Chains A and B, each alone.
Chain A
């Protein structure tokens, strides 16, 4: 299996799907000639031309709205939001339109659309190049939301998203783009949307997370194993729909649950995961459910101490895992 960077896996998924299906096309700011500000779409315009890899006006609501129109016509657009921080002008199109098209038309119309948006901080991006906006879109039925942590998952989930008959938000972690690499299966495969994935089996504590913090949890679990603490780690993979069965099974495995995400704590995905566990199996727990999340501030600052304070890392995750194990 070839080893690819996370960003290369995203690019490969788009390239292969565009080769496979002439209705797939990419649109967004700077995605064409420049190949994206992160180079995610590099080389695609050279291969597929200006129409299928389209540089759009700087106009996020139009990017989403035009993509929605094209999707209703039968195309399979992949709309790129340059940073997830900039997708809020498109929020009305995403929440009021894309999410509701099938439902409001009683299954007459549909909107097979992918919106890709980079999330996360740790790149000195300051308030508006660092955000994790999952909680803004989470809880809007009609949308699917995925957030991969490895190149293999990124490729498989993006391929699944492109082939999905409904709108999917694909939140890719920009810190992972080149820092995370790994083997990617050759040939055609998808990672199913709506299913979580056990990354590590363990008996003492259960960590439930998604995206970048999973890497911290896996590193911490290695170190804690030396201390005799055995961690079970679940990757949600899909934030919507949440894999309730997978969550409950992972929580039952140890009876102690730590939920981790970089998005701020209040109203985040972790609140819902926690509520699912509490509703279904409160009396099977051996400790209160814990959450380790970004602090409830509007967004992270650009100054290095402030950014470091906001961001999760292996040490913060390890400490939270150990504390729960010792409860």
Chain B
């Protein structure tokens, strides 16, 4: 297949994505961005306690999701993956219920911090706060799928800081030994809270795959079509029995680590602005407009529609009841009577 020239306006079609696919991807990115901005405002307004943001990472998240089998695969997203979970079926209302810690929150019934996703029906595997514990889980899920002869891939994400945890390495090695159908995507956003990447990594995350006997690739995380292509190929390889792939998507965390973080204590506004100019969501919008698949008018309509949906979701979640206090005692074990005494 001939590679399209750089700047080609048919890159998405070359990858097998229709105009409609590409527009839908953009809509999810935009939804995730606007959700994130809304939740930051809600926190600043004192409506909610805490938010951990994924602004700047949506393009890669959505693109990766689009490259997977969203009806069969298992997903182990990390706490910034709003774009990802929206792409595999979570709704704004569900995310808002989690943000407000309400009883109806499908991820945890209002127990976990926002961003700690889980949704069994959507095969989004429950996650925790100690970072990268989900990598061995993804490997175990891939192992189980292989043992049962079921054609599924598990997809797991994490940051570059947490790629230093033992669980990352133990999971990668296990997956490499057994050539398991797992895709590991590092969202390298340049910061682990305040510590910059040059103090986290002596080399490249992608290169670590060599040590585990599988493919590692670096990709521009601000280029959703590049991410889509890489993850699509990783998915093909996984299903073909060719083993795991480690993808290091390069991006930049435009927002502070969380609502408890003042990022200008450790980086400059100039640096943030420089990266804001590379924002993958905005450049993808421009690409779609240039390709004739999108327009400023349609973008305004989309923005208004997302805003309405956000308003509705916020209102619904704000008014929804908290869990009963006594429900704190439930679900320690399968037989609820044994727990919480």
Contact = CB atoms under 8 A, between A and B. Distances in A.
B174 A166 contact: no
B331 A73 contact: no
B111 A104 contact: yes
B21 to A, nearest CB: 29
Contacts of B109: 106
B107 interface: yes
Interface in B241-290: none
Nearest to B117: A105
A282 B141 CA distance: 50
B111 A106 contact: yes
Interface in A119-171: 141-142, 144, 165-166
B108 A66 contact: no
Contact of A69 (B120, B141, B166, B332): B141
A69 B144 contact: yes
B340 A141 contact: yes
A96 B147 contact: no
Interface residues of A, number: 44
A103 B138 contact: no
Contact of B171 (A66, A71, A103): A66
Nearest to A71: B140
Contacts of B177: 57
Contacts of A106: 105, 107-111, 331
A102 B171 contact: no
A108 B116 CA distance: 14
B143 interface: yes
A108 B119 contact: yes
A61 B170 contact: yes
A104 B136 contact: no
A92 B130 contact: yes
Q: Number of contact residues on B: which range applies?
A: 35 or more
Contacts of A66: 136-137, 139-140, 143, 171, 174
Contacts of B170: 57, 59, 61-62, 65
A207 interface: no
B147 to A, nearest CB: 6
A110 interface: yes
A103 B136 contact: no
B39 to A, nearest CB: 20
Interface in A230-276: 241
B239 interface: no
A96 B145 contact: no
Interface in B202-236: none
User: Which of A71, A97, A106, A166 counts the most B-chain CB atoms under 10 A from its CB?
Assistant: A106
Nearest to A142: B332
A320 interface: no
A38 interface: no
B191 interface: no
A202 interface: no
A59 B174 contact: yes
26 contacts: A52-B147, A57-B173, A57-B177, A62-B139, A64-B136, A65-B135, A65-B171, A66-B136, A69-B125, A69-B138, A71-B140, A73-B74, A73-B141, A73-B145, A93-B167, A97-B128, A102-B332, A103-B332, A104-B108, A105-B108, A105-B120, A106-B109, A106-B110, A108-B118, A142-B332, A142-B339
